[in-house]
Amino acid sequence: MATEVLVPTLGESITEATLGEWLKQPGDKVAADEPIASLETDKVSVEVPSPVAGIMGQHAVKVGDTVEVGAMLATVEAGDGAAAAAPAPQPAATESAKSAVPAGGDQPAPAAGGYGNHGATPIDSDAPAALSPSVRRAMLEHGVDPATVKGTGRDGRITKEDVATAASSRPAAAPAAPVAPATPSVAASTGRKEERVRMTRLRQTIAKRLKEAQNTAAMLTTFNDVDMTAVIEARAKYKDLFEKKHGVRLGFMGFFVKAATMALKDIPSVNASIEGDEIVYHDYADISVAVSSPGGLVVPVIRDAQDLSVAGIEKTIGDYGKRAKEGTLKMDEMKGGTFTISNGGVFGSLMSTPIINPPQSAVLGLHRIEDRPVVVNGQIVVRPMMYLALSYDHRLIDGREAVTFLVALKNAIEDPTRILIDL
């Protein structure tokens, strides 16, 4: 008897998703609650578990297809696989091999769904364990064949560290590669090459939301700079004790998030949003922190940041950053948010005009710290300076309020004691 595997409920207001990859192939043995497929939603990747134990049946949809909540993805046949596995794999493998040639051609096969490797079946039933979405992306980035990687994770699963290790060990065999192009000189003379890769649902959503923000909000950016001397000295003095006590490194984001919550309290319109013809003011600060993931920028939310200490903020950010790279952030962790902080400085950005994250009305952009000459008490001195950029919806926030917010933030960072005594 076959059991249907349906697209699960994906979260509030999310009605559809894209099939990112199949973690199990027809004929594979599956356990109850074992992930058999990965779905890409507007925000995160979601693994779909098998409702029962048995043998993986036929796939009802292809990688890259859009599916709605409640739609059938596949079937799971009853049984332990001892008898059914013998006849099933050969016809299934033959059918997949036949369909692979017209569907993918020579090169587009991996690009069509964004997850394949070098063949029609990205990972077969002989693999030690199914690959998570983040590991799959890492393999694509490094060009690593999963069959050559030994998994060190739980139940023999391949981790991103395993992929990185396999990629770093390849250069020993690389010198032989240049010999091959020497014979077919035609390949070198064919000219420029192009590759077309389908946009992930996350990237499509990012593009759509950012463009909507530009089309809807009356966006304006105001700049200021901040002397980072005091924060750098405090961090250097206490970072070891801080890490020993709290188990997390002391960074700059903890100071900025805490200072921002204080400034938002003083300038509530920066923490507000527009809904129809009403302004919604929030008496709490849910700070969205932009972090990078293999699939693009994601913005998890630090709930009630105004009530957290610098240590609590750093722990939350560290956890979000780690799980963003692993692709294990939950949808609830990225919903809501009243104000966003984006740190382009970690990538070397000197200055930028960040785009607000609707329905929020403002976003703070942090940039790299750079030694610059400044005048202090009539003397030219060299100080570590950072540019701050506040992009805001001018329909709600006036220039005076934007400047006042930045000045309040600047004062708190240049004199961290203000954070301690709430000044």
Helices 399-414 and 229-246, axial angle in degrees (round to 10) = 70
Asked if 145 is an active-site residue, the reply is no
Closest by CA to 340, choosing from 305, 385, 293, is 305
Active-site hit among 246, 398, 415, 422: 398
Beta strands at 287-293 and 339-343: parallel, antiparallel or unpaired: parallel
Q: How many angstroms separate the Cα of 218 from the Cα of each of 99, 121, 215, 355?
A: 51, 48, 8, 11
DSSP state of 175: G
Q: Where are the alpha helices (DSSP H) in 143-252?
A: 160-168, 179-182, 185-189, 201-216, 229-246
**What's 303's DSSP letter?**
T
What is the token pair recorded at 373? 């000459």
Place of tokens 């972090």: 291
**Residue 359, preceding bond cis, omega within 30 degrees?**
yes
398 is catalytic: yes
Please spell the DSSP secondary structure of 331-396, one letter per residue.
Answer: GGGGS--SEEEEEGGGGT-S---PPP-TTBSEEEEE---EEEEEEETTEEEEEEEEEEEEEEETTT
Check if the beta carbon of residue 41 is closer than 8 Å to that of residue 77. no
Cβ atoms 146, 129 nearer than 8 A: no
DSSP labels, 88-99: THHHHHHHHHHH
In angstroms, the CA 57 to CA 100 distance is 18
* Distance, CA of 246 to CA of 239 (rounded, Å): 10
Of 118, 145, 266, 394, the catalytic one is 394
Q: Known catalytic residues?
A: 394, 398
